[in-house]
Amino acid sequence: MVVVHENNAPHHVVIIGGGFGGLYTAKTLAKANVNVTLIDKRNFHLFQPLLYQVATGTLSPADISSPLRAVFRKSKNTKVLLGEVNDIDPEAQEVILGDRTIPYDTLVVATGANHSYYGHDNWRPLAPGLKTVEDAIEIRRRIFSAFEAAEKETDPELRRAWLTFVIVGAGPTGVELAGAISELAYKTLKEDFRNIDTSETKILLLQGGERILPHMAPQLSKVAKVSLQKLGVVTQTNTRVTNIENDIVTFKQGDKVQEIASKTILWAAGVKGSSIGQVLANRTGVECDRSGRVIVEPDLTIKGYKNIFVIGDLGNFSHQDGKPLPGVAPVAKQEGEYVAKLIQKRLQGQTLPQFRYNDVGSLAMIGKNLAVVDLSFIKLQGFLAWIFWLVVHIYFLIEFDTKLVVVFQWAWNYITRNRRSRLITGRETFEEAKTVTNDVSLTTLKKNSEVRIQESASMSRARVLHVKNQPAS
């Protein structure tokens, strides 16, 4: 192995992960008297809160991505390395990148989380989640390929399956996906096809808990649910998915088991810590929770290692109110800034009080002119919430040119309802996808076409047609 070490160098901080946690740690250390090495397996920072808009054709991947080298161009103390960390040696204070080791004085691990299918990893290829650019492109391919397949399909039952979208999980990602697909079906694509009526699309949003957007105030969850219903989205709470197989979703609500045929199933439920969490557990003996998130100390270090910090989605910080902080961008941002300041204080022989998250609130887009915002001092809904949502997301985009591009795309989409990034790309061509999925027997689809939830969706859509000026995403 090649050992990289600089003699007589300033304190060396190695950051693994270029998401919000790692990015803001490095940015806050930009003018400090330390050397920073930021390692990521991708060469860009991804603005995940807008990833659903890539998946539904509003934005392109480049619109929400910032090259890490460009972000830190003027940060002369910061080095960016492209690579994937395979192991960590806490005793030697080194991270291992393939055949290369990088020494550190302080290590910050911010590698995020992956999707959790609750022990059903065989569902992963059948119901993709939304965490990466590749996920977004694959979901976009499936959504738009579904409409193309329905246009060519002559069998009514198969066509109905192509026009049925099931989203599992009703947190912000699930709600925003449902609203965006609703606008696609009922507005954007309405005049684009000749053999199908896209307003016959059925969108089913399944949530295991008692209400959608569970981290928000109950009244805002209710507002969001009613708003989605007006958009033609059927929501079912207290519903647990028990099987996904052969384009059939089986779910249980109480004692009632139902099935629905769908060619497009999307996963927005459950996360688990990245694999580096287990590496840390094996190397240091630190405890992980059931989701693979590393249990951290009040100062975000791990037990027994004061120079190793774990932040963002990978860390389980439960020292504020006894509950783990949510895996959202503001948490990772504040943790990154705190760690950077603590490192500087320690180099001066000082310290900081334990980390405390300033919960400014949460927000979710539902449709055009419609969002919900739950702040610590006020709760907003409708148009004002929608404006607030736009401003916040523009503010947190990393680069100025990215802000301009996104504002222009949003303005164009608002005026024309035309999504310019409706591209079908990916591993499978449309014909390959259609051949594979059409192997499902017509008998199975016909049996499931009588499921009550489909009737409920039709009734919901029928009511929508009588609502004037209905909002769309």
Cβ(134)–Cβ(124) below 8 Å = no
- The full DSSP string for 215-249 is TS-HHHHHHHHHHHHHTTEEEE-SEEEEEEETTEE
Assess contact for 472 and 231: CB atoms under 8 A.
Answer: yes
Q: Which stretches of 153-193 are DSSP H helices?
A: 156-162, 172-183
Conformational region of residue 292, where left means phi above 0, alpha means psi within -120 to 50, and beta covers everything else: left
**Helix axis angle, 430-437 to 133-152, nearest 10°:** 70
- d(CA 340, CA 291) in angstroms, rounded, equals 26
CA-nearest of 21, 68, 25, 79 to 44 is 68
Contact 64, 403 (CB under 8 A): no
Helix, strand, coil % over all residues of the chain, rounded to 5: 40, 25, 40
Residue of 264, 268, 329 lying closest to 130 (CA atoms): 268
Beta strands in 328-436, from DSSP E residues, in sequence order: 361-367, 370-375, 379-382
How is residue 327 annotated by DSSP? S
* Residues designated catalytic: 176
- Where helices occur in 262-382 by DSSP H, the ranges are 275-284, 329-347
Identity at 190, one-letter amino acid code: K
- Look up residue 399 and give its DSSP letter: S
Read off the tokens for 429. 């061509």
